[in-house]
Amino acid sequence: MRRMVLSVCFVVAAGAVYIGALYIGIGRPVEVLAQTTDTVLYEGARVIVGDGSAAIENAAILVENGKFTTIGRRGQVQAPAATRVDLTGKTVMPTFVNTHLHIGPGRGTPAFYDMQAGRQQYIEQLHALAYGGTAASTSMGWDNEAALQIRAEYLPDAARVLTSYRGAGVPLGQVKKIQDAHAAGRDTRMEEDLSDSTVWLWTKTQVEIYVQEQAYKHVDFIKMWVDDRLGTELHLSPDIYRPLIERAHQHNIPVFAHMFYQADAKDLARAGIDMLAHPVRDSLVDDEFVRIMKDHQVVQQTNFQLPWSYTMTEADAPLYWEDPLFLETSSPTAAQRYREQARTRASIVRTHEGQLDVDGRKFNQEIYSRIVSNLKKEYAAGVKIAVGTDSGGTFAPHLDMRLLVKDVGLTPMQAITVATRNAAEALDLHDLGTIQAGKDASFVVLNANPLDDIKNTAKIAAVYLKGHKVDRDMIKKTYLSKITAPRTGSTARRD
Cα–Cα dist 131/112, whole Å = 24
Cα–Cα dist 121/99, whole Å = 19
Characterize the bridge pairing of strands 134-139 and 160-163.
Answer: parallel
Position 340 scores a pLDDT of: 82
- In whole angstroms, how far apart are CA 463 and each of 70, 200, 394, 472? 19, 40, 13, 8
Give the pLDDT confidence of 73-108 residue by residue, as tens digits.
999 999 999 999 999 999 999 999 999 999 987 655
Position 76 scores a pLDDT of: 94
Residue 387: pLDDT above 60? yes
Comparing 155-169, 214-228, 347-361, 390-404, the range with the smallest average pLDDT is 347-361
Can you tell me the mean pLDDT for 268-276? 99
Position 486 scores a pLDDT of: 40
Position 335 scores a pLDDT of: 80
Exposed / middle / buried, residue 200 (Cβ in 10 Å: 0-12, 13-18, 19+): middle
Handedness of CA 153, 157, 162, 164 (dihedral sign): negative
Cα–Cα dist 484/478, whole Å = 14
Cα–Cα dist 402/127, whole Å = 23
Indicate the angle between helix axes 204-216 and 238-250, nearest 10 degrees: 30
Comparing 137-151, 330-344, 387-401, 431-445, the range with the smallest average pLDDT is 330-344
Residue 428: pLDDT above 80? yes
Position 494 scores a pLDDT of: 46
Helices (H), 14-151: 115-131, 145-151
Can you tell me the mean pLDDT for 55-71? 98
Position 23 scores a pLDDT of: 29
Spacing of C-alpha 290 from chain mean position: 23
Domains within the chain, CATH numbers bracketed? 96-312+343-438+473-493 (3.20.20.140)
Q: Decide: 168 and 198 in contact? Cβ < 8 Å.
A: yes
Position 352 scores a pLDDT of: 36
Cα–Cα dist 97/141, whole Å = 17
Among residues of the chain, what percentage have pLDDT more than 90? 65
Look over the chain and give the mean of its residue pLDDT values, rounded to a whole number. 85
The amino acid sitting at 47 is V
Give the pLDDT confidence of 27-53 residue by residue, as tens digits.
444 443 344 458 999 999 999 999 999
Comparing 207-216, 218-227, 373-382, 478-487, the range with the smallest average pLDDT is 478-487
Residue 410: pLDDT above 80? yes
pTM of the model: 0.86
Can you tell me the mean pLDDT for 483-493? 39
Can you tell me the mean pLDDT for 413-428? 99
The residue that leads in pLDDT, 111 or 264, is 264
Cα–Cα dist 58/88, whole Å = 7
Q: Decide: 375 and 480 in contact? Cβ < 8 Å.
A: no
For residue 110, how many other CB atoms are within 10 A of its CB? 9
Position 187 scores a pLDDT of: 57
Position 199 scores a pLDDT of: 84
Position 266 scores a pLDDT of: 99
Q: Decide: 155 and 127 in contact? Cβ < 8 Å.
A: yes
What is the secondary structure of 374-426 as a DSSP string?
HHHHHHHHT--EE---SS-GGGHHHHHHHHIIIII---HHHHHHHHTHHHHHH
Give the pLDDT confidence of 111-140 residue by residue, as tens digits.
666 777 789 989 999 999 999 999 999 999
Give the pLDDT confidence of 309-341 residue by residue, as tens digits.
888 888 899 999 899 999 999 887 888 888 887
Can you tell me the mean pLDDT for 451-461? 99
What's the longest Cα–Cα distance across the chain? 75
